[in-house]
């Protein structure tokens, strides 16, 4: 189990501590925050892209395909009832040299991402209140 601690700072701003890394999460100013860091939906989207990137890098390294410096651009659209991410668009730009016949394999590697699989399934979330 991986323990992540979120501490409220002020307003909507919180700090998140993951292992020995601490970072700020906040809402944009036009949503009542101070824009001191990314908002939660941006972090969720970044987690998805980062996970996909690691799977692509692992596949390309094993297949000896050029991949240094590839990029992934992501965009999310919000849906209602309930308020959530309704859809995500992922655009992967690989460096020159990936044969066309290997591009589907790169896509499959991205789709094996644990974050994507978690979003697809009904992941149980157990919430308890303590003092």
pTM, two decimals, is 0.89
- Taking 70 as the threshold, does the pLDDT of residue 55 lie above it? yes
Q: What class is the 39-122 domain?
A: alpha beta
In the chain, % of residues over pLDDT 70: 99
Q: Closest Cα to residue 13, out of 128, 21, 28, 83?
A: 28
Q: Supply the pLDDT for residue 5.
A: 94
pLDDT tens digit string along 103-124? 999 999 999 999 999 988 788 8
Taking the C-alpha atoms of residue 37 and residue 15, their distance in angstroms, rounded to an integer, is 9
Q: What are phi and psi of 23, to 5 degrees?
A: -145, 160
pLDDT tens digit string along 77-98? 999 999 889 999 999 999 998 9
Q: Supply the pLDDT for residue 124.
A: 85
Helices (H) and strands (E) in the chain, counts: 3, 5
């Amino acid at each position: 189990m991986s323990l992540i601690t979120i501490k409220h700072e002020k307003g909507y701003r919180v700090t998140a501590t993951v292992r020995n890394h601490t970072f700020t999460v906040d809402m944009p100013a036009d949503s009542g925050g101070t824009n001191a860091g990314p908002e939660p939906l941006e972090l969720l989207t970044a987690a998805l892209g980062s996970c996909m990137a690691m799977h692509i890098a692992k596949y390309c390294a094993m297949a000896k395909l050029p991949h240094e410096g590839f990029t992934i651009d992501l965009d999310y659209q919000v849906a209602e009832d309930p308020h959530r991410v309704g859809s995500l668009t992922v655009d992967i730009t690989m460096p020159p040299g990936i044969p066309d016949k290997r591009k589907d394999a790169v896509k499959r590697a991205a789709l094996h991402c644990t974050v994507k699989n978690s979003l697809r399934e009904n992941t149980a979330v157990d919430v308890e209140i303590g003092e």
